[in-house]
């Protein structure tokens, strides 16, 4: 009998570094105010899921990114805290700090990345939201 194809192996450390490099490329593009460089880290059909917004697919997400740049977002630092992948899919979770109008801001993010036929990793899902302090349960009376 024909043997079943081998299951894809978890990504190597080098591949995980390539996945994390997408976050660095995103931050570099944002800091350079280079929308083309930022759009290049997204797959053409990527889903952008900003806070308090519907999911935006493909070019529909571009105005959100361009708006952040036009609004003065700067000093982006993305810090992945968990990165994992198998085959041509990976995910990364972390926090991003930046300045918006001079004020410091922090968001949490979760991203799904896919390796293209050109060997480049790109975001296919990018979801981010603010970081609120933990909810404190009201004291029982």
Residue 107 pLDDT level (bands cut at 50, 70, 90): very high
Pairing of β 56-57 and β 42-49? antiparallel
8 A C-beta contact, residue 115 and residue 92: no
68 has which bridge partners? none
More confident residue, 102 or 110: 110
pLDDT at 88 over 90: yes
Residue matched to tokens 């999911």: 55
Q: Residue 98 has what pLDDT?
A: 96
Q: What is the pLDDT of residues 26-46, one digit of tens each?
A: 999 999 999 999 999 999 999
Mean confidence (pLDDT) of the chain: 93
Q: What is the spatial distance between Cα 126 and Cα 47, in angstroms, rounded to a whole number?
A: 6
pLDDT at 51 over 70: yes
Q: What is the pTM of this model?
A: 0.88
**How many Å separate Cα 50 from the centre of its chain?**
11
Q: Residue 31 has what pLDDT?
A: 97
H helix or E strand, kind and range, residue 82: strand 74-86
């Amino acid at each position: 009998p024909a043997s079943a194809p081998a299951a894809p192996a978890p990504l190597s450390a080098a591949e995980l570094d390539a996945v994390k490099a997408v976050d660095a490329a995103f931050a570099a593009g944002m800091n350079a105010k280079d929308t083309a460089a930022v759009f290049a880290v997204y797959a053409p059909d990527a889903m952008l899921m900003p806070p308090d917004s519907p999911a935006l697919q493909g070019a529909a997400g571009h105005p959100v990114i361009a708006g952040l740049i036009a609004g003065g977002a700067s000093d982006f630092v993305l810090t992945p805290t968990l990165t994992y992948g198998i085959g041509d899919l990976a995910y990364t979770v972390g926090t991003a700090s930046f300045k918006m109008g001079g004020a410091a801001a922090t968001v949490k993010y979760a991203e799904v990345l896919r390796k293209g036929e050109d060997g480049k990793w790109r975001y296919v899902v990018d979801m981010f939201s603010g970081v609120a302090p933990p909810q404190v349960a009201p004291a029982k009376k």
